[in-house]
């Protein structure tokens, strides 16, 4: 192997020279990300308590606008202190769920109702929970390899993107539900913007998303 090829592989595997996002972009993502997440939470909660559309729209807008208040008056200020930045996958997922809640059955596509789509969805959820568990073990230095550090390397992006496209490759008709495009789109946005921290795993997962995927699998454990 020639010296230029060796240097290329070294750069792909290196994790000690991360490309970090700019500070203004991180601040923008802090507000925008939590705006989408809290808007979905508010919309879902109000829909369960009151089916009146004015209440749903009002609470959703209030949650989305609350994050843009100045200083400690903003909800994103306290959410950022407690939970830092949301992952790209979590924001995209909450955005899709919010759109679904707002549009009802009109937002559903035929692929969403297929058994094949649900199996692929559960497979992605299992992969997310497994990765979340491995990252949790790595946080306490209980994982045999430095998994989190690999998130700064270029080879992790290539491998993760290839794995995230497997449901689309395996689909019989070449179509997948919109949920299955969240991971590939999150990786693509990460490559361009390096959000939220410059680490791939922070773009794909955050602790609350891992908890949500675990709850989803528990509630659908008996589904076939």
6 is a domain residue: no
User: What residues contact residue 194 under an 8 Å CB cut-off, 6+ apart?
Assistant: 19, 20, 21
Which two structure tokens, joined as six digits, stand for 71? Answer: 């200083």
pTM for the model stands at 0.87
Banded model confidence at residue 14, pLDDT cuts 50, 70, 90: low
Q: Is residue 4, in this structure, part of any structural domain at all?
A: no
* pLDDT over threshold 50, residue 160: yes
Domain around 67 = 16-219
Does the pLDDT of residue 54 top 90, yes or no? Answer: no
Asked whether residue 141 carries a pLDDT value surpassing 90, the answer given is no
Residue 10 lies inside a defined structural domain of this protein: no
Highest mean pLDDT among 47-61, 95-109, 190-204: 190-204
In-domain check, residue 5: no
Q: How far apart are CA 87 and CA 90, in angstroms?
A: 5
Per-residue confidence (pLDDT) for residue 222, from 0 to 100:
59
Into how many domains does the chain fold? 1
Q: Please tell me the predicted confidence (pLDDT) of residue 200.
A: 96
Q: Check residue 185 and give its pLDDT.
A: 95
At residue 97, what are phi and psi to the nearest 5 degrees? -65, -40
Tell me whether residue 11 is in a domain. Answer: no
Segment among 87-96, 105-114, 147-156, 168-177 with least mean pLDDT:
105-114
**Measured distance CA(217)–CA(199) in Å, rounded:** 26
| Concatenated DSSP letters of 54-68 | HHHHHHHHHHHHHTT
How many Å apart are CA 120 and CA 94, to the nearest integer?
Answer: 19
Task: Give the list of residues 6+ apart from residue 150 with CB closer than 8 angstroms, or none.
Answer: 15, 156
Q: Please state, rounded to an integer, the average pLDDT across all residues of the chain.
A: 85
- Asked if pLDDT for residue 27 goes beyond 50, the answer is yes
d(CA 4, CA 10): 10
Tell me what the mean pLDDT of segment 16-38 comes to: 92
* Contact yes or no for 203/190 (Cβ under 8 A): yes
Q: What is the pLDDT of residue 19?
A: 86
Name the percent of the chain lying above pLDDT 90: 61
Picking from 216, 215, 164, 188, the residue whose alpha carbon sits closest to that of residue 88 is: 188
Reduced to 3 states, what is the DSSP secondary structure of residue 132?
Answer: helix
Per the model's pLDDT, the better-predicted residue between 81 and 141 turns out to be 81
**Mean pLDDT score, 89-100:** 94
Domain assignment of residue 85, yes or no = yes
Is residue 211 assigned to a domain? yes
Asked, for residue 8, whether it belongs to a domain, the answer is: no
Instruction: Give the pLDDT band of residue 77 (cuts 50, 70, 90).
Output: very high
**CA atoms of 91 and 95, how far apart (whole Å):** 6
């Amino acid at each position: 192997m020639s010296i230029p090829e060796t240097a290329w592989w070294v750069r792909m595997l290196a994790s000690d020279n991360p490309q970090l996002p700019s500070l203004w972009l991180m601040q923008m993502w802090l507000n925008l990300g939590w705006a989408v997440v809290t808007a979905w939470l508010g919309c879902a909660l109000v829909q369960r308590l009151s089916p009146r559309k004015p209440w749903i729209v009002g609470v959703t807008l209030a949650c989305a606008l609350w994050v843009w208040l100045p200083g400690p008056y903003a909800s994103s200020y306290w959410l950022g202190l407690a939970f830092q930045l949301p992952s790209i996958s979590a924001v995209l997922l909450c955005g899709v769920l919010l759109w679904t809640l707002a549009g009802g059955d009109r937002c559903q596509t035929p692929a969403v109702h297929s058994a094949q789509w649900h199996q692929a969805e559960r497979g992605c959820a299992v992969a997310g929970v497994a990765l979340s568990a491995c990252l949790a073990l790595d946080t306490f230095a209980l994982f045999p390899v430095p998994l989190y550090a690999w998130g700064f390397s270029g080879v992790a992006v290539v491998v993760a993107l290839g794995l995230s496209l497997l449901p689309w490759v395996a689909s019989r008709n070449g179509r997948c539900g919109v949920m299955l495009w969240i991971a590939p789109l999150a990786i693509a946005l990460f490559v361009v913007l390096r959000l939220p921290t410059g680490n791939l795993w922070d773009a794909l997962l955050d602790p609350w998303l891992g908890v949500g995927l675990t709850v989803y699998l528990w509630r659908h454990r008996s589904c076939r």
